[in-house]
Amino acid sequence: MDSTRSPTGSVRRHLPRRSTRGPLDAADDPLSPLATSITVPSAAASTHSGESASRLSLDTTIPDDPHPRFDLAFLQNPPNYLPIPTDDLPEPFLKSPNQPPDNAPLEDLLRRGLFRRAAQKALFDLLQCAPTDAPRLFQLLYTRLACLVLIFRSDIATHESIIIVDFLTKTPPDELVSVIPWELRLLLVRLHSIAAADGGRKGIMSLYALAAEARQHIKAAQASNRDEELKVWSVRLQDLGLRVADMLVEMGELETATRHLDTLTDVDTHELAYRRALLQLGSGDVAGARTSIDQLPDSIAKGSLEAIFDTACGDYTKAIEQWQDCGEKSPTYALSTSNLAVGLLYTGRIAEAKHILESLAARVPAFPGMLFNLSTVYELCTEQAVARKTALVQSIATKDMTPDAGGWERPTFEFKL
């Protein structure tokens, strides 16, 4: 999903994510101007964000087929793949002395959160594979596409996935299960729902088709008492139900998404209550949101929703108290601290908000909402905002590399440069 550039001066609040998705969702941009709406996290990430990006690895579940039935040489045609531009990446990241050597293995790049380099390395390895090594080829293709999404280049990922989508349309469905890994199939549905001109309807139809397939496998596993297989496909079916809700949200169908959640009987009730509360707040159903929040046990998640509820009702002072309470209960929960700073900003305490965000930027891996909010604060409180934001870039680029929150490299627009 392509990144969204918010208007200068807006402040973004990062809503807590509740999902168990893969790396694709870690790339999702769950940020929106706090003054205009409450964003319901997609999926993910992702992205988580993510279900953090650290879950992206070469351990992706891929069927082991020692006798591949397909010659996949068509996936190894270099003109099918596009170069990855670097003009959206600040120079300090490109010239960091911490960058690994050119021959660094793919696993090392993923572990350190260098997803741009990992996408390039995955393609290089893919082009070197034997065309009959289906597990390896699809593993590398999945890594390539997922990394592109994580660096906000889903446009490139969508373009490069067309050839495999054409392959899927010509392959008998019963053969796909043993050839295409489930994670890759989900990612392809996601990419082509973004590119479709139907507002996401085809994507929802594709998810329902996968759900029908999952139900068939569940019935077969139950009939033959294959408990492990039953568990795998049951989890996948639950996940598909939540993905449908996510896609409805992206289509703007909040009330439809809420009704859809009510049809999911096998998903954890607390998960459903959390998601329902966010949807109800987003659609203005304050009373319904209050009921859903009350169904949750006392936890950081409930405290976060309480704070969002108070913000939606315009009670910023109470929201600040809720965010402070969440931060005390879980000092490592960075979203509470970031949202606390937003609450302080909305009550005119800009100096306190600036101090909190700067301290947060120094001690945790950078994430989009924090960087955008701190950059906005600089614009509001100093005429030297560009210099302060440039210094912030330098500071983030010297921190330890990590795959958390979408990776170590941060694009220029997150700093509003």
Contacts of 144 (CB under 8 A, 6+ apart): 81, 119, 122, 123, 126, 157, 160
Instruction: Compute the Cα dihedral for 104, 106, 111, 117 and give only its sign.
Output: positive
- Helix axis angle, 134-150 to 115-128, nearest 10°: 160
What pLDDT score does 289 carry?
A: 92
392 neighbors 361 (Cβ within 8 angstroms): yes
CB neighbours of residue 13 within 10 Å: 25
87-113: pLDDT as tens digits: 999 999 998 888 899 899 999 999 999
Question: Tokens 């796909």 label which residue?
Answer: 176
What pLDDT score does 39 carry?
A: 26
What pLDDT score does 227 carry?
A: 93
Q: Round to whole Å and give the CA distance between 332 and 327.
A: 8
293-342: pLDDT as tens digits: 999 988 888 999 999 999 988 899 999 999 999 988 887 788 899 999 99
66-81: pLDDT as tens digits: 444 678 899 999 999 9
What pLDDT score does 60 carry?
A: 41
Averaged pLDDT for residues 243-271: 92
**Tokens linked to 160:** 């490069």
27 neighbors 17 (Cβ within 8 angstroms): no
What pLDDT score does 179 carry?
A: 79
Report the mean per-residue pLDDT for the chain. 82
pLDDT of 211 above 70: yes
SS (H, E, C) the chain: CCCCCCCCCCCECCCCCCCCCCHHHHCCCCCCECCCCCCCCCCCCCCCCCCCHHHCCCCCCCCCCCCCCCCCHHHHCHHHCCCCCCCCCCHHHHCCCCCCCCCCCHHHHHHCCCHHHHHHHHHHHHHHCCCCCHHHHHHHHHHHHHHHHHCCCHHHHHHHHHHHHHHHHCCCHHHHCCCCCHHHHHHHHHHHHHHCCCCCHHHHHHHHHHHHHHHHHHHHHHHCCCHHHHHHHHHHHHHHHHHHHHHHHHCCCHHHHHHHHHCCCCCCHHHHHHHHHHHHHHCCCHHHHHHHHHCCCCCHHHHHHHHHHHHHCCCHHHHHHHHHHHHHHCCCCHHHHHHHHHHHHHCCCHHHHHHHHHHHHHHCCCCHHHHHHHHHHHHHHCCCHHHHHHHHHHHHHCCCCCCHHHCCCCCHHHHCC
Percentage, residues of the chain above pLDDT 90: 61
Spans of all domains in the chain: 23-199+298-415
pLDDT of 30 above 70: no
What pLDDT score does 8 carry?
A: 38
Which of 23-32, 74-83, 166-175 is the least confident region?
23-32
19 vs 188, residue with greater confidence: 188
383-395: pLDDT as tens digits: 899 999 999 999 9
Percentage, residues of the chain above pLDDT 70: 82
Q: Round to whole Å and give the CA distance between 320 and 318.
A: 5
251 neighbors 280 (Cβ within 8 angstroms): no
* pTM for this entry: 0.81
Averaged pLDDT for residues 211-215: 93
95 vs 7, residue with greater confidence: 95
What pLDDT score does 288 carry?
A: 92
Q: Round to whole Å and give the CA distance between 273 and 324.
A: 23
What pLDDT score does 259 carry?
A: 93
pLDDT of 278 above 60: yes
127-146: pLDDT as tens digits: 999 998 988 999 999 999 99
Name which of 50, 18, 161, 180 is nearest 115 in CA terms: 50
What pLDDT score does 13 carry?
A: 46
- Helix axis angle, 134-150 to 154-169, nearest 10°: 150
Contacts of 329 (CB under 8 A, 6+ apart): 300, 303
- The torsion region of residue 140 among left (phi > 0), alpha (psi -120 to 50) and beta comes to alpha
